[in-house]
Structures are given as C-alpha cells and as structure tokens.
Structure 1
C-alpha cells in the first residue's frame, strides 16, 4: 500500500462524525436568531422539523419566526397543520392564528379563531391579550362578537383575586383562595401554577415543587410551570434536574411577549445570561414593554454578564430615566463602574430592586423605611419570607425583627409557622415569640423547643411597640444567654414577656440601657421570683458581672412600672387561702 495513502487513511480514522439531528439544527437556528439572521434561522428550524416531524414545539417555533417576518399565511399553514395532524389539543395555536389573521386584516377569520380559542382553552394564558384583540375586532367589524362561553373564565373571578393577592405580597391569603378554587376545579392549571408560586414565595419549597409537578403532569409543555420549576431547582442547587430542564427550555422560542419575558427572566435567574440577553433584546427590538424600567434592568444585567458593558450602561441609564425613583438604577450603575475596573463581578440580580444585604444596610440607616417598603413591594416581601426559611442565622434574625414592623396577618402567620418548625434554632424562635408579643399577639402560641411541642400562654397583655430597638434586643440576648440551661422554656418565655411588658409601659420614656448586663440580671431576678425559685443578688452578680446596686436599682424600676411585687403578694395570699 502506498505510504501516503496509509497516512491519509490514518487521518480519516480520527475524524469525529458530525451528528445531524433536530437539536443540532435548533441550536444553529438560535445562533442565527442571536445575529438577527431570520432567513437562516428559518432554514434551520425547517431542518429541525424534518428530523422531528411529530414534535409540535419545532413547528410552532417555525410558525413564530414566519409571523415575526410578516409571512402570516405560511405561519398559518403550519399552525393549522399542528392542529389538524400533530396535536389538536394545542389550543394556543388558535390564538396565534387569530393574531396572524388580524395582522392580515382578515377580521372575520381572526374572530373565528379567537372564539375557538376562548371557548376551548382551559388555562387562559392569553386572556388579557384576547380581550384586547376582541376589542379591536368589535371596532373593525362594527358589531359584538358572539361567545357561548369563555372556558378559562370558569372560576376566573376568584383566580384574578388570588393573583392580586400574590402581587400584593399577601401570600397566605392567596394560598387559601387558590386551594379552594382547585377543590372546585382541579384541572384549572393556571390556578395550580400560581399556587406553586405562592408556596415558593412563602419558602415552602417542597410543596411548590410538588404543585408545579402536578401542572406538568397534566400539561408537560406548560411554559410558566417549566420556568418556575427551573428557578426552584436553581435555589436549592439541584444541578442535574436543572440541566435536564434547561435543555428543553433552550429549545423553546415563544411567540407571545409575555412568554418571551418569562423565559428571558428565568434564563437570567438560572445563570444562562446569553440566552436571557437574546430574549430581552428581542422584546426591546419589537418595542414590547420598552417603557418598563424593569425590562431595561433585566437587559442590562444580561448584557453585563456577557461582557457588553456599554449596552448594560445604556439600559440602566434608560431605566433611570423611566423610573420615578432612580435609586435602584443608580445602585447598579455604581456597581457597573466597579465591574469595569475589575473590582467586582457583574450583578446577577434579575429582580428590579437592590440586593437583600444592601437593602438591610440601607434600612439600618433609615429604619422608618422598612415598614413602607415591605407593605408596598411584594418582591421584597417574598424575599423576606424566603430568607426566613432559607437564610443564614444572622439573616433570619434580621428578617424576624424587620417583619415585626409590618405586623399584618401574613407576617403573623409566617412567624407562627416558624415557631413550629423543628428544624429552626430555638434561640431564633425565642426572638420570634418576642416579636409576636411585642406586636400585640396575645393568644396562646404553639412552639417546638428542643424537639418538644409546647403551648406558650400569653401571661401579660402588652401595648404595641412601634419599633424594636437594638439596645432592647441586647438586654434580651444577655438574659437568654445566661438563663439558658438553668431555666426551662416557659420560664424564659415569661422573662421575654416581662421585658416587653416593661418597655410597653414606660414607652416612649425608655431609660438609657447602657448597662445591659444589669438590666438582664434584673429580669432574671423577677423571673425567678415569679416561679418561686430562690435567687440572691450575689448569685446574679457572679453570673452577669454586674454590681448589686445596679441590679437592685433596675429591678426596682421594673417593679415600679409593672407592679410585680404587689402581684406576687396577691398570688401568695391566694395560695395560702387555698391551703
């Protein structure tokens, strides 16, 4: 054999064969979209369809590209083919048809497709958009549209109310309403999807994943559910599950702006910034949602993470111009300047507010702003509830105290649920009990301390304190630390209740608490007396390192405000009478 031919043959054995399949052509199509080469993208999508002719997603992607290119008739041919041959249950295709017909000014055909969509789609993903299109058709046809029913509007009023509760950050109320809706209509997938979100916002991860799984079992291609699940997996670091799910999401090219926004945001949150950049740029290029400062923020974050710093700056400047309160945009512009200088990594915060730790630093300077922010911003509220469940110890301590400034039913329920979670630290639960008492919760509290369920009775009624001061907390922590192991849970709870009672009675004339150890010792002194335990000032001096004069003086002040000595006399007298 010729040596030259042997060398060539040897080279051939090292050639890696190119795998031409639907995934290969899909990826080429996406790359072409990234470069705005629609003709090439269309060609590659056609090849993907050739390799997977029974996959409706490939067909819908191709229809979506044709629609964006203004080739509405070809788009309609594909959508009709999906409905007739591949998946008659894809009712959203009727909505896409209606949009295409409206763009072609074939208003009668648009009306027919829209009516079919409304009368057959159970989930109502495009109900708001369908209402707008219906108004246009009524105007163009100069007559009302006849609708026998709107399938998705069964239970829709309650569902709309639940969505409003979610947007307002009233998650537990939304959960109750959504659960009631699903008892009546278990196949209402949009309600089940929102229930999964509500669980997630409350930090109930396992329930949220289970609920979203139920949606996907009924409809494997539900984009909202897939995106929600991807974010859930990201938060708990389930990398293999996330990777598998992302493989599917990367193949999805949504048609409707709401879906583009949802998918783009999801891709950004899970760290797929280049994918997110493509989706956000697509929205801005078409003018969709371009007046929303949050969209420019999302585009800026994606741009910064793929090295397009000039674009990131332009987007944050636009967000600043559009937002009446430019603090968020200013923060990220400052962050970008540090990124350019190599002093910081690009921000990955796709929610349009400052990072959690940064907000706390700001609130420490201006504590009066916490309550207003928590009441007005559901995203911040959800981040607090999530941190209460999944943050580190320091963050949980901050969150518990901050939630006390809001003191609505949502907060009270969250703190009560925290008390019975066997996985949470007992010290944090004691602070939660204190906060609940300080905001006026007077009923018995169920709590799990040291793995044992207990009921803590409200022994005293306390006036509500407006803001919990760090000096008050310092006294409480010293007393809790010294009493731990020597007093049981109920006795420690009574100490906390006594401290809140004293502060409530003397507020706003609370004395300066320079000697925290002395005040803590005074609290232990009266707690021991209330439980008929022998205690001396000398013992307290050894435990707390405070002088006898200080302990005696502070014990006197507490007694003067709360009348403990007189109450103990009455209790002893009643005890003697019973004997």
Structure 2
C-alpha cells in the first residue's frame, strides 16, 4: 500500500520552473560571501529567464568589474544603454571600467557624459572627484613632463607591433618593431617583443642576439632573461638555458607582468613544480584570470594532482561557459582518473591538443557541407554546434571565420543575431572580419545601430548599402587591398605586409597634413603599386600601368609624387 501511495504522490508532482528572481536572489547570496564565480552562473540564469530585466544585467556588469573583466562589463553596459538610454548611471560605470583599463581619456569622456546627463545624480560627487584626479594627472603631464611627439609616435608604433605579434602577424610585427627599436633603443619592451617576433618567423639566432644586447645593458631585465632561456632551450642548449632561468628566479619582483612572464616561461620549459608554486602566488593578484587558472590546472595535472586540476578547469568553465577548452580537459582528466586512458603530460597553451584541433576542424568542414535544413536543425537543438563554431572563431584562419559567420547568418534567428553581435565586439578581430559580420547583420535585418569594436573603441555603427564606394574610411582601407590583388596576379611575391605598411604610413601622416579628396580610388591604388614596384626594383611601364588601372597617366603620377614626397619628408624629419 505504501508503494501505491508513493506512486500516486509522484503523479501529482508538478514541475516547478523557477523564474529569474529565484536565480537573482541566489546570485546575491553568493556575492555577499564574495563568491563571484558562482554568482556569475546565477546572474546568467536570471538573465536567461528574464532578459528584459536590466537590473540583472547591471548587477552582472558590476560583478565583471569586480573580477577585473572591465571590457566584458562595458559590453553589458553599452547594451543596457541601447535598450534604455535613460540609464545614465551606465556612463559612470563605463568611466570606472575605463579607469581600470587605464584608458584615461575615455574614462574622462564617460564621466563628463554622466555629469552632463545627470548633474545631481547619485554618483555625481564621486564622478566629479574622479575627474579632478584625472585633470590633476593631465596637468602634471603637460607641465612637468617634456613634450616629445617623436617618442610618443615611436611608443604608438611599438604598441602596434605588440598587437600584431599577439594576432599572429609575425612578419609585419618584425617590420614595425624594428622601426620602433631603431628609433628609440630605450624602449626595451619593443626590443623584447622584436626578439619574440624573430623567433616566431624562425630566426632563432637573431632573437638570441637581441636578448644578449638587452642583457648587456640591463642584466636583471625579467623579460629578456625569460626570452633567452626559452630560445636557448629550443636550440638544445639546456645548460645555458638553465643559467638564465636561475637568474630570473633569483630576481625579487612583485610586478604582476613580470611574475606572469616568468610563469609562462617555466610552463614552456616544463618545470611543473616551480610553475605550480609561482602560479599560486600569481593567483593572489589575478584570481579570475582564465589563462592563469588554465596554466594552474595543467601544472596540477602534470604533477598528477588530478582533482586539483579538475577544480581549476571547472573555475575556467564557470567564468567563461562558452569556451570548449576547459570542458574538454575536464572530460580528459576524468578519463585519466577512471583509468580509461594513459597519462601523458599536457602542454600549457590555452587550446585543445593538436589531434583534437584537427578533429574539430574536420567536424566543422563536414557540418558546413550538410544540407541547410539539417544544419539549421542542429543549430536549434542544443548548444553543441554553437559552442563548436565559437571555438572555430578563435583559430587564426580567415577562411574558417568567414565560412562560420556566413553559415550562422543563414539561420536568421535571434540566436544567430546575438552570435554575430558578440563577434563584432571582439577586440582581436581584424577590420575585414568585423565589416563582414556587420554586413551580415544588415542583411538579416537586425536592428541598427550595431555596437562594434573599431580602432580600439566601442562605437555605434550603421551599415549603408546605397553607396557603392562605402564610407571614406572604407575607400581608404580598400586601396591597399586593390594594389595587393593586382601585384600578386603578376608576381608571386609576399607583398601584402609591405604595401599595407606603406599605405598605413601615408594615412597616419594624413592625420597631420590633412587628407586629400579621393575621387577615384583606382588612381591611388595605381600610385601605390607604382611606388612599391619602384622601391622593390620590379619592372614597370608607367603608361601601361596607368592604362591597366583605367586612370590617366597624370592622375597616377600626381598621386605617386604626392606619396613619394610625403614619405620622403617624413623620413628626413626622422633622420632616416
């Protein structure tokens, strides 16, 4: 009878689907206990249940700020402002995030916008105090630091070189960093990055030579010691490599960037126990950094501390649930603990193993060949395809990215729209890929304006299909690509980096001298091709070249002379 009674009770159980407020309260409790990682999980669930509740989004943005994810916080705040422009407190929060990112001019602009929109608002006094601090800093820089525009330009060049290095454009990084290092040898970070760039293009001896030059002047430079230790290890000279490792370990530093560099070097050298100890220290400064947590997980795994490894990969997954790397390694370490596979050491880079990369890329290719109906069905049923395609976007392969963006756009649903909107806000993407995604959003009839990350800023963008030439910026950016396409059709030469570099120098100088009116882009592309051919000693008939571009000889030569004179004057000023 008891069994029948229990069965009857089960039949009467009504499934209870919790609303957003339930998860929101749970998130608040975790925040009270300073458990930001679990709070993230419940804020996301609250927003999933009630996406129109902007209070939930505001709190999520605040949590990201507390965790040091200032850019991610700003993305949410910009989204809130688009939904409800009256939420002026977002300007204040955005300004604080820019302070955290050390982007002080953007912080000042945001704080001023807040005071203009709500002069007596809740954060008005705090905003005014922050502005006074920023103005004091600017006053100090303007009045007590000697203005040095040449050094500022060189610093910007070195920063651009670092960005190119991070994006995997190693040859262009070498070109840019060489210029920066030659102009100002005192920019040690540029020379260290140049050494890395040389290593990445296979010039190991040149990379070592640069490190030795730095260490002759600055023997305790952490980055140079780390670089040369790694380079010598790659060359097979472990004895010399260990000498530099011991030196860098002996250097007492609390600088977070230095600690991170030493940790990454020890990871590359496979010194698991040492790196484990160092990462514990680094996590005191960066407890929510997903790469540091991943390195910690790998070090634990390689030391056969499998439960600890699982714990750290679980943290990575909770912070960034869209990544499929930590979920792969969680499954991997579970299989090791169950004796389902043999233990082998894992590399530290934040990516799945090479054989898994090959398997996933093949899966993506096979999926993209499916009939559109079958593919749309997989898209709608669960998040497996979504997660795989997001992983594919992190590969340094333009063709794969383009294919993924186009196939996602073909689904034409809310999920696809959010996928593309998230893509155009990625800081690491090139302009062409951002433009491609914006065009796809427009073709999907997604509501404008779109928020996009352009020229190191988050801006509102509207796409205009009516103009065949596009915006002035689009025309300027198209000119080098036109020249590259033509030259590569005639000569099998690696010209892309050189031509883009020449054109970027011209465009940068226009910011000071004023941009001429561009009526016919082909005339400038022809002039750019002519400049490159002459510089590289390639054969050229000027009359035939102009005719092939369907421009007059005078147009091409006027533009060529303009480019030549502009660059010649610039290098003369730089004493080159």
Q: TM range, normalised to the smaller chain?
A: 0.3 to 0.5
* TM-score, normalised via structure 2 length: 0.40
* TM-score, normalised via structure 1 length: 0.40
- The higher relative CO (CA closer than 8 Å, separation ≥ 6) is in 1
